[in-house]
Amino acid sequence: MKLWLFLVEGNSDKIYVDKIIKYYVKSEKLKKEIKLEWIILDGKYNYNKKDKQINQKIDKFKNQNRNSDYEIIYVIDLDKCRNNEKDRTFLVDIKKFVQKNKYKLIKNNKNIEMILKIDNKSKNKKEKVKIAEKFIMKESIEKYLRIEEPENVSIGSNIFQILDILESGV
């Protein structure tokens, strides 16, 4: 059994990423060999403030699954990284952070809703979750989920590349 621990910006992101994973990864593996866990960041700038939660989830998993391994994966929206200094600095900082800690990084440009063609501009978190729950993954979206460096294109994500890497380690 292998733990995939995802850290996502918000609850709606968790739902979208979970649906993409279940669409892309072979269901037998998800049932028998992979355990998905989630930590909500409550905003991407909190990426380096979750060590305690990460360690608790890993310890619990390892206590229940001796000799098992884990991967930690951050999922972020790049938002305005091309023209906003704060977002550009954030991208540089989180890349260093995940590299230093040997984590994985899924980047969505500009955001996951835009990539998935979801009209979800609501600021209301409960409404965002309701919209996310109705989302159904379609084959026509796949090409946007296979972008190696999403920050270099107008729309896209590297989620399929990261899932391929994760799945090869199971």
State the pLDDT at residue 140: 92
pLDDT at 145 over 90: yes
Residue 3 — very low, low, confident or very high, per pLDDT cuts 50/70/90? very high
- Tens of pLDDT, residue by residue over 17-72, are 999 999 999 888 888 999 999 999 999 999 999 999 999 999 999 999 998 999 99
Q: Report the DSSP pairing between strands 104-109 and 69-77.
A: parallel
Residue 123 confidence (pLDDT) above 90: no
Provide the whole-model pTM. Answer: 0.94
The per-residue pLDDT for 115 is: 95
**Given this model, what pLDDT does residue 120 score?**
72
Sketch the domain layout of the chain as residue ranges.
2-168
CB burial string 128-147: b at 16+ within 10 A, e below: bbebbeebebeeeeeebbeb
Angle at CA of residue 123, ends 118 and 124, nearest 5°: 100
In whole angstroms, give the CA distance from residue 22 to residue 38.
14
Average pLDDT of 114-127?
87
